[in-house]
Structure 1
């Protein structure tokens, strides 16, 4: 039994030792950090694991966790590095208010074994709050307050602590106030506004000062408040009149109740101290009150009886103005009313004769009207003078007693002033003077003295070529300030020649509206600028006219396709260009020459191979049209190469022409065949280079073409219409099947000559003139320009001529529609 009790005691002692050790282990660690407020998320606070003596690698296995005491998670621990960092925004004023010490307590718990650490993070204050005044200060101070009077003010508050909340006050400059900062027994500051100089409400009724508070932080922050000081009034100013003596003159026939004068005394005080009451004073008050009345509140003096100049011609009235202050203050003035004699009769005037209307070409001195005047008064009151307003082209001439003539003083212009309202005033010499007036309406009749005038000296218009006939180009308008037929304007074109054609064949103008129309399509390639004059003529007698210049600029349209012409070799000769198999890369074979009758981008040409895959070892220059080799020639390239070259302009839409080039590749020099044919045309067979075969073909072809030319000549008499180049050239036509055939189709007049069988053959399109008879686009048979210069693709047949005899530049081929036989090979 004793043994059991001894074992139980030992067990309790051991358990006590374990609990004490555990408690020591639990509370053995405490760390303190500090961090400024407003730190951003992720700001480093401290190496918490290292400072607590924990291994970073064991934080996860020992279930490291951190608990904030009653607050949200402002901090977080990186379990990989053991670093404590800021997790959310810290605001010291929000957490601790004005407490001088602000700290957040954290509990760190780990297991295996269980341990608890206390971590304290102090939040340091920064100067992030400016001084704040509660509200605007409004003070009411009487102007009678003596200097050194003191008025307490509400100070500013700063949510920061320490030096960040130490405030320094400053008052804006003022000659009447200063600021005094004092401390009480508790070392608390309070503000006092001190009056330095006596206030005067009449001078400045309100003072606005700016009070500024600056804290001691770095950087400094400030807060301001406006002090509004209203000055209260005292009755220290007497009413004042703007003058001490008023002189008034009244006619003796002034009506009862007429206003004589309205007095307006002013008092610079405020409230009841400025309310004024008027009253009559002095020895003359009784006599003045018989004929005048004074309203005490408004200060109006009115006629209250009959005025008689012969009885009394002068009244002296004394008026007193009193305010309602306590005690009241008064001001005085004197009114001298002079009664004037009345001129009872006004002058009378009458117009006895008129000569209206007045022509605008009437000479100065022309009499317009005769006026008579009279006045029933006598003496100076009966002497009358007449006048009219100045700045008028008229004047009054006194003819004899009481009669005046209204005459023209200078030339008049109806277009500037069509009529004059003349007010004739008759005034006597009485005191005061009386007058009468009469109006005379003088009309000015029109004369044709103004030519039609255009608003501008030159009209400029831009028209795109190929406009439809009858298209409206512009409208000219002239104005004539005259009246009726003198202002009726008709328009016409000043005729002149434009080249070999009259101007009237190009444009016309509507005689009444001034609309200008194009009578025919304009061609930029023929005419770029057309300048002419339009005349505007009125219907007056004699008629007057004015001219204006119209400049018509024709804008280019892309209406001409590139025209391809045969070219010689790059050396400029007309003979064939040799293409030996030994030619290396970059060897120039020949050059395509094309022209475009348009201008600008519409005439900017681009050359390209229509089928790049079939070009083989050759290429064409994009902008120069030169055909050159891209590599050294080989026997595998074959005996000949055929290139279809597309020539395009840069117009919108783009127009194009094609040229087919057949090149022979031999060991010895060979001719280069140029086949200029329209797009979509059929390919003729290659010309056999055998000399004997070429001679036979050319002989038979020449004979057959000669028969055709004779036949066509007998039918259509082509003598004056056919234009041929110099030299002899043999023309052979190739058909689709390459055999001799006879065809009834539309044909052209061709030039026939002799040539050799060894000449290279080149396809080309004849350069027809810009005019043809009954031509239809799309129904021809060769690549040829239309009247505007546009190249059309007109069929599938091709004409071949030797390169040695190209058509002469400047010459043209003329097209005729007719039925004829065409020889083909």
Structure 2
């Protein structure tokens, strides 16, 4: 963190540290630890739990983590044991260069409560680098009249190690002319000087070669060598002289390459070659040599690489001037690098949570710190987020900030937030950094499934195939994930008599409804039940919807003839007097149909007749009547086939066979027939036997019915005076025919035999055997008043 860096939320400038519920921010004293460089990865540094006075599992519970100032993970915290370990091999020379001691600064962050501990790690040097000379050979030109004791400064060697492992001494191979003298520089480093012990004589020896050795203080010591080649020159008694010993200049860090930084100048009072001066960098580090270049003829110092105030704030450049005779002089150029606002602020995330439950209270989402590598106003910062978000940005210790929610969120209103954290400095021009965070609101099961309709009406045609898909219900849940996964089920019916489990089933995943068995409209016209939809949240939420199933009628019932009943016994024979007029009611065919609607609309027609044109059937009532007057020529016995047909699609039908006997009168049914009739009777004795049998059975049955009715229903005196049928009030006896249907006889029909006084034998008819009650299968028909019809036989139709 840069010194003097300030950061506060927009429109909420703060000059103090916020303390808020649930988070404790504390700064402890600095912890100091050390480790030797090049130690293997995973090496033990210290047990932080013991050093900080924490329990064994407290580091795990509080989510302890290590944050480095340079945002590099040099150290690793084993939260289970509390040990602080190295995360990589540490190279002191790469980390700190020549700076000694080499310190790495880091913080230990813990949550619940939130605390920050500052600590530093010293990387101890080992002797892993040998001294090195920049040049393998150095040429030194010395005048032959150089006085004894003259010292010549030599370029020093460089050793990446520091302290005792750095260069401690220089030696030279034994010779008669020179020895090495060790001197200290202003920077606290030593450099070698070659001291002349004996006068030189160029005529005897014009060149010498010496080996200079640099030794460091390691154990064992390391060394490096270079060759000093000494060229003995003729006399040049004046060395160059700089106009200034020290030059001072300033250069902005955004200076382009090739910019003129400074200009040095030296003069020599000699003449000729001995006065020709050339300039060069002297005893310059690699960094200086790559950053600056001096023109050997003009002394102009130009920039060869970009400057960076944040890396190097100043340079000290040594310039050497050499004349043609080999004499030299040096000066120093001090370059101060001026800071400009060229570094945008940095935002370093220390802790981040991408998810937050929608019903959570104030929750910490991110912990981060900001820094700016610039200085002064360029390094002061502001930090803020948009005001219309349900989040707070709270400053903390040492430019740390905490991003947290203001309160509970609603995922159904907004499931995701894009938060832009903006950090801007106060430099000119202002630079800013933006960091985008995406926070997903995790779902909580707070919405029950909702059906698309409160009630569903489904229709299914009867006689359906089992497992038929009859419809679907649908419910949606505004939640997500398992909380939005809806399962469907059938709820227990309100009517305990309804066998719902055997009628329908539901697909738990899709809501599709299926008929389990074939439905019969005549047995069950409609039913309803409730369907439940539940999500898979914890706890699960549910809702209900009403489903009505209407069974659509199909024409699956043929008409059933109630009268005359075709039961395979003796055929039905009707007696018609020959004196009957046209339109005489012979009998009435009574039929019902178990279906409903147009499927139960019945129509009657005469399909076959022994003598066409003699009888007719009314299409809607089923009454069989004479179509004309009877004559003596008409046959005695007639066979009629009546077809009963419904109005379904396709239509279904039934037929009934009627036998009609033409007689002269009911009182003399067995008198000798006319000649033609006698001849026919003789020709067909079976017909005569049939007529006699039918008359006997009918008489016996009629007598039984009369006795029953007289005892149970009629008062004899009223019957005698009125000459009609006496029927008791209230419901008919249970032995009478009761037909409930949905056909042409849409109501209950009850038949009772009534005789009138003076009717005579010619008015006597008999009732066919009573059939069992037939109860219609439709349970939804209403009882209505039953109209009463009387035919010529004296039968009541109700």
Common fold: TM-score over 0.5:
no
Q: Which has the higher contact order (CA 8 A, sep 6+)?
A: 2
TM-score range, shorter chain: 0.3 to 0.5
TM-score (norm 2): 0.41
After TM superposition, the score normalised by the length of structure 1 is 0.40
Bigger Rg, structure 1 or 2: 2
